[in-house]
Amino acid sequence: MKAYKTVTIHSPANIAFIKYWGQRDPELVLPFNDSFSMNMSACTTELVIEFFTDSSIQQMEIKEFQKDQYRPSTEKELQKVQTFYPVAKKFLNAESNFGFSIRSSNSFPLKAGIASSASFFSALAYAFMIGFEKQLPEDQLSVLARLTGSGSAARSIPDGFVWWNARTSSETSYAYSLGKPEDWDIVDIVLVLNTQEKKVSSQAGHRDAPSSPYFQSRQEQLITVTAAMKKAFESRDFTQFGTLLEQEAIHFHSILMTQTPPLFYWSGKTLDVFRDVVDLRAAGVECYATTDAGENVHIIAKESMVDQIVSFFNKKAEIETIIINKPAPGTRQIS
């Protein structure tokens, strides 16, 4: 059967400076706290979707990092897309149906704490909006991306530096741009230490987050931290910004390690990089470290420091790949 339409969607992963961890409402994917991130220029998903009139056609192929060929998606991967279909249909008030064949390729390792689901699911939300022949304003497209289940996908929709309001109602919990990509010359240098898929999904992690004895105190502290972070961003105070984001990464991982059951995403190699970052700062190379739910470290620095940082870490055998990201636009239809 021939597709009646084919579109290509391009979407970035994002790195959170203030992390989303814990859901007030798991069904609606409403977070407990605001979060703040930057879209990543070199960690992206390209999703090509063919639309068919026969709605029984539902298939997907995936091309992983550094692989030449597409592989069929697993049942679980396809199921997440299929589960989102009726959610999107309802949200968009759509009456028609469509079949789809998706080819998704990633410029970075999947599921290793580089928000691969954020870039994929934001692209999927955009693609299904087109499939259902609807147009949404950016804030509502961000809500739709959130409803994929990958909450951080909401932050990949707008451009550049993105804030996601927690809020208690579905339609008001959306992400919006606080600054365009060109507004600040900072970079995210990803040190890939491990490309293995993480063992525990973020969903399980969110569910158990409140079991940490420190969860409540983190929520209380975040009120001042989020305000200070916004101020540091607005005044482009990189030292304050970096100090806050590194502290936040450590606090966030303290929650992970103290929830029940505990989550140990960091490895010894992760800790070594955090120590290296402290040493680099002492040597006058200003940079700060953060991680997502994974072992790989994101080094945040001013663009002028990239060469020094990369040449330092290039000498370390335990680093598999280094990916340099500038702030990037959000989800786009490119053809």
- Would you tell me which residues interact with ligand DP6 (CB under 6 A)? 16, 19-21, 35, 115, 117-118, 150-152, 202, 206, 292-293
Quote the least distance from Cβ 204 to ligand DP6, whole Å: 10
DSSP 194-226: --SPPSS-HHHHHHHGGGSTTHHHHHHHHHHHH
Quote the least distance from Cβ 267 to ligand DP6, whole Å: 16
Quote the least distance from Cβ 94 to ligand DP6, whole Å: 24
How much of the chain is helix, strand and coil, in % rounded to 5?
Answer: 40, 25, 35
78-92 exposure pattern, b = at least 16 Cβ within 10 A, e = fewer? bebbeebbeebbebb
DSSP state of 110: T
- Closest CB to ligand DP6 among 9 and 114? 114
Quote the least distance from Cβ 113 to ligand DP6, whole Å: 7
Cα–Cα separations (whole angstroms), residue 187 to 39, 256, 304: 10, 26, 9
- Closest CB to ligand DP6 among 41 and 119? 119
- Closest CB to ligand DP6 among 16 and 141? 16
Quote the least distance from Cβ 38 to ligand DP6, whole Å: 11
Q: Is 122 helix (H, G, I), strand (E, B) or coil?
A: helix
- Closest CB to ligand DP6 among 131 and 205? 205
Closest CA to 15 of 313, 288, 303: 288
Both tokens assigned to 54: 């026969």
| Integer Cα distance of 181 and 178 in angstroms | 10
- Closest CB to ligand DP6 among 41 and 152? 152
Quote the least distance from Cβ 57 to ligand DP6, whole Å: 26
- Asked whether the beta carbons of 252 and 24 are under 8 A apart, the reply is no
- Closest CB to ligand DP6 among 21 and 238? 21
Quote the least distance from Cβ 331 to ligand DP6, whole Å: 15
- Closest CB to ligand DP6 among 131 and 151? 151
Q: Which stretches does DSSP call E strand in 216-265?
A: none
CA 157 to chain centre: 10
